[in-house]
Chains A and B, each alone.
Chain A
Amino acid sequence: MSEFTGNEIIHQYLRHNKKFPHVLCPGCGHGIVLGSLIRSVHSLALPKDDVVLVAGIGCSGRLAVYVDFNTVHTTHGRALTFATGIKMANPKLKVICIMGDGDALSIGGNHLIHAARRNIGITALILNNNIYGMTGGQCSPTTPEGAWSMTSPFGQMEKSFDVVELGAAAGANFVARGTVFHIHNLDRIVTRAIERPGFNLVEIVSPCHTQFGRKNKYKSPVDMYRWIKKNATPLERYNELSEDQRAGKLPLGVFVERDVPGLEERYQALKEKLMEGAR
């Protein structure tokens, strides 16, 4: 670890020619994720030039503009497709994707399962706030059953996605869940996701108090963080609980860890074989 701590590290990575303040609401979890991402990149001593941060559209998508990496703010739901092109074009780059839950699971759901299936060397961070934040609080594929949103004024009737199960089933190399309340744990998970080969998926529970909390019995950001604190359970402990005890609990930790090389690596191996044959 370095001699810098906290803000000192962050300041080295923010864009000073970008006009602040940022667009996030006070109490939003997304800024904490950006901090975690920066600390992870820093602890891995990755040169800024080697990092490409690709973001979708949503409050989460806006994060890319503030950090001094190569940053690409793409279209809603398609960040992973751009990232695939970038990684395949230049496998030396560390490609990290930041997406919202609406972004990654709804409009971008197809791209997510195929990026995982392909197991391409990308780190995908899904910032799950259970709602469409930027567009004013419509329900997302992770809005819990019964929860209120602008488009489920009588309570969400559909079942929500479990990001972790989805990623694991689709074939991601590494699947983990963290929260913005458990920062040290989050830093460790994000660091691991960035350094590993293949497709690494991290669901990050990052509350949106403005659009979700306010209308769903969490009157303040603090209430939301209290909810996370109360229900978050390390995976090992969660696995020991009975079916009944698990209700409402949020298991955290690493769910899948495989070591399949990324698509770009396997593709490189094929190329070498073919070009050998041509010689």
Chain B
Amino acid sequence: MEKSDSRRPTGLLLVAIPVLLMAWLIIWPIINAIGRTMWRPDAEGSYGFDLSSYIFFFSDQYSIDNLAITLWTTLMCAILLLAICLPIALYLRFSQGRLPAYVQALAIFPMFVPSIILAYAFIRVLGPNGMVDILLNAVGLPKIRTPYLTPWGPVIGLVWDNIPLTVLILLSGLGSVANHAIEAARDVGANRLQVFWHIILPRISNSILVAISFSVLGIFSSFTLPYLLGPASPEMMGPFMNRTFREVNDPINAVTQAVVTFGFCIAFGLFYVRSVARNQGK
């Protein structure tokens, strides 16, 4: 017991640097941003409580459209990610041999491709007169309407970009599903769907929550893919903030958009924290 007591300060010291960095680089700027948007000088230059930039944001149709497209993109990506990654993870968990190893390597591959390269590859393949169009044309099929510069462009790019992380988290969750639990269920006559629904899903619901909140946090504030692949308007919050700050020279509204953005991100983050806390309590 003595030994573990003496280790305690070492552990705290180890986390001190990341915690301090987070407080300095993330938490303080958040407080600062909220302060700067709510405590502002009026026409005479005296400082006071002022919510006008938030009132503008939530009464301005253009800003609301941008927020709506961001939420829509995030939701679509979350649904698609789950629909794509859960089968992959299940396959990798319950099959043996060399083929699953190749599948896993392929599923992890997008992690090593920078999103800017992904964006240009996307334009070349799925873009107008791209490879898909050429192949369709070669077999006499009509052209597709390309997702490039439509809201589906960023969705496809972001889903591809987030597959590795989601698969890895789901896979680690599936590791806690014991083989004998499934065999026992099979013995009493459960079919595949019943095994999935009653045995596997309850055990990995936490991992699903973690995987989704991780990718949702990244997608909500993403920049490169919506900037290069998305439509001019409405635009996602990342490009919208950047444009308001740099091109329209309007820092107050840009900071307001940022506060609204991390307000949503905190809400998603709470899901993650709650599921971790629930896990610890078990």
State yes or no: do A and B come from one complex: no
B contact residues vs A (CB 8 Å cutoff): none
User: Chain A: residues with CB nearer than 8 A to chain B?
Assistant: none
